[in-house]
Every structure is written in C-alpha cells, then in structure tokens.
Amino acid sequence: MTPAADVLAGARAPDLALFLPSFDRGGVERMVSQLARGLAGLGVAVDLVVGRRGAAYLDALPATVRVVELAALGERPLDAAAAYLRAARPPLLLSSKDDNNRLALAARDRAGVSTRIWFRAAIAESSRVAGQFFWQRWRSYRLMRRIYPRADGIIAVSADLARDVADITGVALADIHVAHNPVVTPELFDLAARPVAHPWLADGGAPVIMGVGRLARVKNFGVLIEAFARLRARRPCRLLILGEGRERAALERLAGRLGVAADVALPGFVDNPYAWLARARLFASSSRSEGSPNALTEALALGIPVVASNCLSGPREILQDGRYGRLVPVDDVAAMTDALAAALDETPDPEFLGQAARPYTLAGSAREYARILGLAAPGDMP
C-alpha cells in the first residue's frame, strides 16, 4: 500500500475535494471551510485538502468532512497532490487561489486521473495589481490566461468578479458561474451575543467605527484612519480595526502623526469578531480591491450600518448600488469622512439592513455550489 493509500484508507470515496494547500486563517480559508461544512450538510462527501492542519477554522468542521494534509503524503507539494489524486480519485476538485489552481492542474497531469478541476475566483485581480509595476501585472495576468482556460469550470463569488475574470483570461462570461459566499452561519447571532472585553464596546462612550481585515495594502486602512482623523476633529468617535498584518506599524505611526492614536485601536486577530461587530455603531471598509467582502456582509446581517469604498468587486453588489449602505470612491478621504459622519447621524434599521445579507447564508450558498457543480439534482436539495 502506498503512503497516500495508507493515509486515506477506510473512508468513503469523496464526491468533491476542496483544494487549498496554502490554508491559513484568512477570509478565503474561512469561506472554504464553511463551504465544506455546508456541502457536508447536504450529504456530499467532502475532502478538504490542506498543506498542514493547524488553522482554527478546521476545528469547527463536522466529522463527515475528511481533512487531508498533503504534508503527510510527501515532502514536495506536487508529488503529494498527485499522490492524493491517485489514491482518492475525487471526480471533482474545487481549487481556490491561483497558486493552488496551478498546482491542481499540474497534479492532475502528474497523476493521470480524470478529476474535473474547477476554480473558485475570490479576488478582483485587476484592481489588486493596479498599483504594481507593469511587469508584475503582466506576470499575474499571464498566469491567469494560461491556467483559467484549462479549468473544467469557474465559479466567481460576485458578478463583477466574473466579469473581471472574463476580461483578463478570455474565458466567455457565459461560462463563468456566480455563487454567493457562505457567510451567515446559524451560530452567527449566538456568537455575536457573547461578551467582549474591550472597554470601548461597553462603556457607553463615543460611538465606535469598526474595520475588519488583514492589515495589508489592499485593505487601504490608511485612508480609513485619515478619514477618521478628520471626523474626530468634528465629533467624538473611536476607531477599532480587527486583524493582523505587515502594515500594523505603518498604521500605528499614521494614527500617531494625525494625533488620533488615543482613539484608534488595533486589537489584532480575534476568534469571535461577530461579538465586536455587533457592538459597533458603524462598519467601514476602505479596500482597494475585494472579491465579496465577508465582514461587510456579516455587519449587515447583524444590523450594523455600512460605509464602503466602491471597489471592484463586491461592495456595490452586496449594498445593491447603495440601497443598503453608503458607497464612496476608492482612496477618497473627504468622501469617506462625509459618509461616516452622515451614517453616524442616522438611526439604523437592523431589520432592513439584514435583508442585504440573506443571499449569503451557509445553507443557501451550499445549495448554489451543489447545483453548479452537478453534485445533486435541484429537487434533491433540502
């Protein structure tokens, strides 16, 4: 028996492999984990293929989802991925992130299997690389043009993102499917009701504006801090940004230089951001690029007003062209400031805001993916 067959022995054959060897604790990883959970709830036999186990998201998976660690199948990712495909022979594989997509295609070639490979597109590449040097953009687009036409299918997490993929790769837009992210879980509201230790969320003081995401350039939190500083000069308020990343020091320096360090807090990554979001007065997103922003959707589900940059893609689609929240131009500090002020002056309607998040439920998303992938007939979906 080969090492791969030994590791995979004793389990039923998978209907679908969710392929994410670069598994960490980002938004893509959380959505793929929740998709695994949702599909398993429909009776789909799911393998979640990761590099190494260890991320917290995996602990919440039901026992019916088999987590496969490539590190246990071989030292080299390509060899390990090919060994998995030969041993498990999943009829379908859904890959997320372009490096993983490329590895999935190479592993299928190496293994000589007939697994159909689908890509899940979650990032608007054109806006993500817009500020990079020409050769960096060219390399990114060249990779996508090489690998996306080789996929057996593509699922994008928003309609605008589907158009972006089509424009870059030459794949016909009609051949790219769209499915909502599985953001709103049954336990979201129970988690949101749990206590939070941060004093700003319990002291009844100045209203708290909240941002959530990696402290990375693409999230553009510097613009949010600049807008907050202008707003803070007009009225009492506070800013909390949840997340961790390499931009932390730069953002802290910016808050200090603008004189608002006492009213800006960066608590880092937290296990239960929903309890924090539920106690905020306002959610703000200043991103340069998104796919389908999950924290924004969660804020709406919890009835929290939203101000977001109108970046490609996601915010405009979720907010339905501004019906459910304010959209401002990317990098426009003055517009962000004015939108934050206007939102703070309004009385929120949680029930109305929650309507925008209804298409993004765990069960609804799982049914969409199952239909697109042909895992069950529509009449078989509960």
Residue type, 223: V
Residues ≥6 apart with Cβ < 8 Å to 163: 173
The separation between CA 74 and the C-alpha centre of its own chain, rounded to angstroms, equals 29
CA 215 to chain centre: 14
Residue 26 is predicted with a pLDDT of 77
d(CA 162, CA 156): 5
State CA 268 to chain mean position distance.
Answer: 18
Collapse the DSSP code of 20 into the 3-class scheme (helix H, G, I; strand E, B; otherwise coil) and give the result: strand
Task: Kindly list the structural domains of the chain, giving each domain's residue range(s) and its CATH number in brackets, ordered by start.
Answer: 3-182+361-380 (3.40.50.2000), 188-360 (3.40.50.2000)
Host H or E run for residue 147: helix 134-147
Q: What is the DSSP letter of 305?
A: -
CB atoms within 10 A of CB 373: 21
| SS3 of residue 145 by DSSP | helix
Tokens 């928003």, residue? 158
Long-range contacts of 321-328 (CB under 8 A, 24+ apart): 323/356, 324/300, 324/352, 324/353, 324/355, 324/356, 325/296, 325/300, 325/353, 325/356
Vertex 102, ends 99 and 41: CA angle to 5°?
Answer: 80
For the chain, which ranges sit under pLDDT 50?
Answer: 1, 377-382
Give the residue among 32, 287, 311, 307 at the shortest CA–CA distance from 164.
311
Q: Which residues contact 334 (CB under 8 A, 6 or more apart)?
A: 227, 230
Cβ within 8 Å of residue 188, ≥6 positions away:
274, 298, 301, 302
CA distance 5 to 377: 31
Q: pLDDT at position 9, please? A: 62
pTM: predicted TM-score of the whole model, two decimal places: 0.90
What residues contact 189, with CB distance under 8 A and at least 6 apart?
302
CA angle 60, 317, 328 (to 5 degrees): 110
For 259, the 3-state DSSP assignment is coil
pLDDT digits (tens, 9 = 90+) for 33-89: 999 999 999 999 999 999 987 766 788 899 999 999 999 999 999 999 999 999 999
DSSP 186: T
Closest by alpha carbon to 119, among 167, 165, 87, 57?
A: 165
CA 228 – CA 222 distance, rounded (Å): 10
Cβ atoms of 281 and 198 closer than 8 Å: no
Question: Residue 74: left (phi > 0), alpha (psi -120 to 50), or beta?
Answer: left
